[in-house]
A and B are shown apart, each in its own frame.
Chain A
Amino acid sequence: MCVGNIRSYFSFRSFTACAASRNQISIMGDLQRVLGKGEYAPFTSAPIFESNFVQVNRRGEPIYVHNRPNCVTVGICASSPSLSLPNVMLLAHTVTKSPQEVTSKPWKVSKQPPTMEQLELSRFFPLKFVEISVHNAEKRRLKLKLASGRSFYLELCGPPDEQHLLFRQWLRLISLLKLPQDRYNNT
């Protein structure tokens, strides 16, 4: 049974497990599967809270890259099992790969299959350099402000019946991240 009060979460691992349970979704998200391949130490086995977003501008209009909305998978995780709070934000994008890039098997030109899309990790930020806040709760938009002063806006996407629950989890996580360290340790 999930404890309702966010202050009752004693570790990020329990938060991610509770969030998954609350949402009745598998804890193994797409990004976590990518990390599990072992190419991104030390994130291979890190518990992670992740969701898919569309990047928008401040007014809520989608940002387009190569004529399609820029979709981003955002993951929040801890880079060490000893950490009780997450310390890293990961960003991943779906990229289009040719078959040769995915496998080592050569293809005949005349029989080349369609290109494939894969989720790939593109960037990570230490959370000390990122401020995550709610930009528009009604539209389920978050604001990411970087240490450089730049800001990005992300709108949560996914099945409509899950968005409300997912966004509530992000609100909880944002609150958790804003807790002073000493207060968190005492909860």
Chain B
Amino acid sequence: MPTSSSVEFGARMINIDSKQIKLQIWDTAGQESFRSITRSYYRGAAGALLVYDITRRETFNHLTTWLEDARQHSSSNMVIMLIGNKSDLESRRDVQKAEGEAFAREHGLVFMETSAKTSTNVEEAFIDTAKEIYRKIQQGLFDVNNEANGIKIGPQQPSGIAPGAGTRHSPQGSGDSSGCC
């Protein structure tokens, strides 16, 4: 499947504590050649989903490098959710769940296994990340008046928070089978 050297955008409205929150999601390419570009855009992110493939040990092994990049180029308060994807392929598992949990614990990340194919935990991953960002806002760790944190107060609902770019980095690489640009 051909890979895509681009960043794709998506948006989703969710509710947390009766507040409407818009997630602006940036889906980045995982290729090495794209890494230098990706680094430029961490600064505007309030949260990041760091994804590996549970059926490919090498994607788990690369997490340290991706995490170093994220930590070096982002706000210190950026929430990072570690995602072990393809949980539906249990028979091909190459990374145990306990290993993902341990990595997350060691590096202060949140952890979840998902399956994009079956939608298992996919929505939860985004919502839980947003909840953690919201918690940090309430604790005053994020300055909502500084848009460099990736958070923007919505104009139509003064109490609504619009988290900025949530960056998903997938060492799996992203395929583009669509014929449309």
Residues of A within 8 A of B (CB): 38-42, 55, 63, 65, 70, 72, 79, 91, 100-101, 103-105, 120-126, 129, 144, 146-150, 152, 154
Contact = CB atoms under 8 A, between A and B. Distances in A.
Could you tell me the dominant secondary structure of chain A's interface residues? mixed
Contact of B5 (A72, A121, A147): A147
Contacts of B176: 148, 150
Nearest to B38: A126
Given A123-B6, A150-B176, 19 more contacts: A38-B152, A39-B164, A40-B9, A40-B24, A41-B41, A41-B43, A41-B165, A42-B41, A70-B180, A103-B156, A104-B156, A104-B160, A105-B156, A123-B9, A124-B6, A124-B9, A125-B7, A147-B33, A148-B176
A126 B37 contact: yes
Contacts of B160: 104
A129 B157 contact: no
Contact of B9 (A63, A79, A121): A121
Contacts, number: 79
Given A39-B164, A40-B165, A41-B147, A55 B5 contact: no
Nearest to B154: A104
Interface in B1-23: 2-9, 11, 13, 20, 22
Given A104-B157, A121-B9, A144 B165 contact: no
A149 B2 contact: yes
A82 to B, nearest CB: 12
Contacts of B9: 40, 120-124
A55 B5 CA distance: 19
B181 A55 contact: yes
Interface of B: 2-9, 11, 13, 20, 22, 24, 33-34, 37, 40-41, 43-44, 147-148, 150, 152, 154, 156-157, 160, 162, 164-165, 176, 179-181
Contacts of B147: 38, 41
Nearest to B159: A104
Contacts of A123: 6-9, 181
A148 B34 CA distance: 12
Residue of B2, B3, B7, B176 most packed against chain A (CB within 10 A): B7
B84 to A, nearest CB: 26
A148 B3 contact: yes
B158 to A, nearest CB: 10
Contacts of A101: 13
B11 to A, nearest CB: 7
Nearest to B150: A41
